Amino acid sequence: MFIPKYKVLLKTIRYLVIFGICSSIHLVYALDNTSIEFGMDLFLNKANCQSCHGWSGDGRKTDNQMPDGANLRESALDRDMVVTAIKCGRPGNNMPAFDRLAYSDGRCYGLLKSQMSATPMPDPPATLQNREIEAIVDFLFAKVIKQGKMNQEKCVQFWGGNPPLCGLITQ
C-alpha cells in the first residue's frame, strides 16, 4: 500500500507535538518540585525562618531567643501578600525584611529607613534574591500555608520520608 509522504510527515509531526506537550508538562512538574525543595532548604537554612515560625511553619519556634513568628499553616494571606511580607518584613512585628534594598527607595509600604526610627526592624540572617523569595513562597504554598495542623501523615509528606521527628507528633 502506498502512503503519500505528506501523510507520513503529518503523522510524525503529530507524534512530535504530543511528545513535546507531554515532555513540557513533565518538565514543568520537575521544575516545580525543584523549586519547592529549594524553597524548603532556604526556609530551614539560609533564611532560617524556622527559628521564629517553627520547622513546619506552625509558629512553634526552634530558637527560644527569637521572636514569636506567625502560624503560617493557618495563614489567610495570598501569594502576593506573602512575597511582600518576606521582602519587606512586618514593621513593628519583628519580621525582618529579606530584600536588601527594602527601605532604600520606598518600594516597601512607601517607607524609607529614615521614616522607621519608631519601629526598628531586626536584621535578617541573610538577604534573599527575588528567585529565592519566590522559591520559599512556592514551598510555603505547597507544604505549609492552608495545610492545617501538622500530624504524622503530613509530617511524612512534608519531609518526603519518615524521620524520627514525625513519631513525636501526637494526633
pLDDT tens digits, one per residue of 79-109: 999 999 999 999 888 899 999 999 999 999 9
Predicted local confidence at residue 165, as pLDDT: 86
- Enter the C-alpha cell of residue 46: 539560609
For residue 45, pLDDT over 60 is answered with yes
Predicted local confidence at residue 25, as pLDDT: 44
How sure is the predictor about 117, in pLDDT bands with cuts at 50, 70 and 90?
confident
Helix, strand, or coil (residue 167)? helix
Predicted local confidence at residue 120, as pLDDT: 77
- Enter the C-alpha cell of residue 156: 511524612
Q: Which domain holds residue 135?
A: 5-167
Predicted local confidence at residue 31, as pLDDT: 45
**Mean of pLDDT values over 35-48:** 95
When divided into structural domains, the chain yields a total of 1
DSSP 124: P
For residue 49, pLDDT over 70 is answered with yes
Cα–Cα dist 108/113, whole Å: 10
Closest listed residue to residue 130, CA positions, set 57, 39, 44: 39
Q: Which amino acid is at 55?
A: W
Beta-bridged to residue 95, according to DSSP, are: 90
Tell me what the pLDDT averaged over the chain comes to: 84
For residue 112, pLDDT over 80 is answered with yes
CA trace torsion 166, 58, 63, 111 (10° rounding) = 150
Cα–Cα dist 168/152, whole Å: 8
